[in-house]
Each structure stands twice: as structure tokens, then as C-alpha cells.
Amino acid sequence: MSDAFDPTAYDAEVTRAGNVVEVTVPTEATPVRIDKYLTRFYPQASRTKIQRSIKQGHVKVNGADVKKSYPVEPGDQIVCRLIQPPPLSADPEAIPLDVVYEDEHLLVVHKPAGMVVHPAPGHRSGTLVNALLHHVDGASVAPDDEAAADDVGLSMVNALPARPNHPVVRPGIVHRLDKGTSGLLVVAKRDTVHRALAAQFKAHTIDRVYHAIVWGRPDPPAGTVSGAIGRDPNHRQRMAVVPPEDGKAATTHYETIGALTHVAHMRFQLETGRTHQIRVHARHMGHPVLGDPKYDGARVRYGTQSGSRRRFFTNLFETMPHPALHAHRLGFTHPATGEHLTFTADWPEDVAAVWARLQKAGE
């Protein structure tokens, strides 16, 4: 059986009703795996999602269940009900919020590690946006809304999905921090302020300094890492340094603040702002961020592999269940007043406690 898609599938008789598709396979069709065949009728759905629907019995061929590898035959009657998640929205939630600065135009907040910045599939509540909406007494926001910033209390620039297969709701969000990263974020209340701040980010004039604990002792102790960042070809759930034509240019400056035997306290300054940039560049240097499971930092990387030492670090990772990465300083020009503002925030108590234990242990 050929695994290529048969172009005559486009001639199938198709009836749609919501998320249900009924297909009569044309008599000229060549056998094709059913999971591949159905992707043509759900262009916004992944093949994995279609396979999941097949496994759960939501796809019938001639009235019977089939496996994902079933070869579609001419004349088959297919009924597929693709499981759809409930509509995404952002609702105000009374979540504690550490506001460092606020005026009528913007806020600067200190995000804790473990908090997702905005609602998206898999994180529909408990996000920074939910907390912000409650803080500004704003209205709920849904993808089909036409609400203005004055109604919501936060900027609506880029707040709604740009395309059907990119369901995110992010009023006020000018830039992001990863879920496991703590630290400072600026949030826009007004659309004009959002656009002005976004322009500063694009021009690389925003001052962003991070502190981190990394594995090993970088040599030289200070320098610059430049390397395009794109999707890791061997691990699609993370990013990597890739050839320039396969990613976006990225530059990170680093400096060692304090070095122990096997770990170091680092200062990173971003020149660009790519996805996972510091985590990717640190791993590329051979010094992944301590406690970062995605980028090989949540296991012993330097020093002996004794059982007692592995237990020591396992205990540390339980104390600090996130990467030791913190957005320490944020500086920008206020779009409304023209004043240059700079804010700093100490890293979380759990990271400080881990560094103290590493010092005491002579790590």
C-alpha cells in the first residue's frame, strides 16, 4: 500500500455538520491510511489529534471502529467526530499579584515561577492574565470578542488568536516569561502604550537582565553567545541552536557572578528575545540552567555520579521545582512620559536557598 495521499480524495462526497464530517470515498481512490486521509478534511487539526479520535472510537468506517492504520477503500462510508475542546477565554480570577509599579498606562509585575503568562490549551485558568484582569476590574475576554482596551482594562493589541490553529488569549501581554521562570514583566493597559513598548522590544532597546545558576564554570567567565534559535530537529518539544537559515538570530551576553566547583551564579543580558533563548544558549555552551528538565539541567552534569550526590541534587530539585532562572532587571522608556524606568527584583526564596546549600556543600 502506498503511504502517499491520493489526490482523488478531494473528489470525495463530503457532508459537514459542526465538527462531524461524513465522507464517501470515491471509487477511483487508492488505499491510504485513514489517519492521513482525514487530515485533508480537518486542515487545522494535527494528525495526532485525528489518531486520538480514531482510538477513542469517534471514527466509524461502514459503521464499524477501525485502527489508525486502516487503508481507506473505494466506496467506504466514513463518519468522523473530531473532539473539540471548549472555547478558550480569559476570565478575571482573584489570584495574588505582586505589582512592582502601576499607573494609568502600564504595570510592572513580578511573576512567580510556576505561573503561566496567558491562557492557552492546557492552561485555561490560573494564569497571569487571569490575575491581571481581576486586578484592573476588567471584563472576560474570548477569541470572538471585539472588546476594546477601555472595557477590558488591558491592551487588546495581539490579544486574540491570529489564526484558527493558534488559540491564545493574552490581553496586555507585551512579552512573556516561561512558566518556570520568575521575574519582571511589563504589561500594557492601553493599545498605544502596547505598540510603543513593542517597538522598543523590536529595536532591542529594552534592558533585560537575568540571573541563573548553571552547571559548570563557563570559560571564559564572561562573553557573548550568538547562534540562531529554531525548533530542535531531534526534539520537537524544545528549541536549539540551528543553522542561520533554519532559525532566528539570537545574541546573549553573559558574566559569571560567583563560581563554585561544579556550578556558577550567572548574569545574562538579552540582546534579542527568542523562545527559551537563555536556556538554549546556556545548554549550547555546555552549561545548562540548573533544574531545567527540558534542556538537560535536572540531572548531575558535573562532578561525581555517586549515589549520595545524586540524592543531594534530587532533594535540591524538589526544593526548587523549576529552572534556576530569574528575570532580575527590566528597564524601558515610559511611552507616555518619556521617563526611563528601571526595576529590579531579587530571585525567589527557593533559588536563594538552593544557592546557599550549594555554597555550604562546596559544590
Catalytic residue numbers, as ranges: 178
The residue with cell 472576560 is 140
- What is the distance between the alpha carbons of residues 339 and 96, in angstroms, rounded to a whole number? 28
**Cα 49–chain centre separation:** 20
With residue 356 as reference, give the H or E element that holds it. Answer: helix 349-361
Contact 55, 68 (CB under 8 A): yes
- What is the distance between the alpha carbons of residues 349 and 178, in angstroms, rounded to a whole number? 18
Strand residues in 131-242 grouped as ranges (E): 182-188, 207-215, 222-226, 229-231, 239-241
- What is the distance between the alpha carbons of residues 340 and 9, in angstroms, rounded to a whole number? 60
The SS3 call for residue 310 is helix
Contact 294, 237 (CB under 8 A): yes
> Residue 134: what are its φ and ψ, rounded to 5°?
-70, -40
Q: Which residues contact 310 (CB under 8 A, 6 or more apart)?
A: 300
- Extract the C-alpha cell encoding 78: 466514513
- What is the distance between the alpha carbons of residues 76 and 161, in angstroms, rounded to a whole number? 36
Contact 290, 313 (CB under 8 A): no
Identity of the residue numbered 243: P
Beta sheet of 59-61, edge-to-edge order: 13-17, 20-24, 77-81, 59-61, 64-65
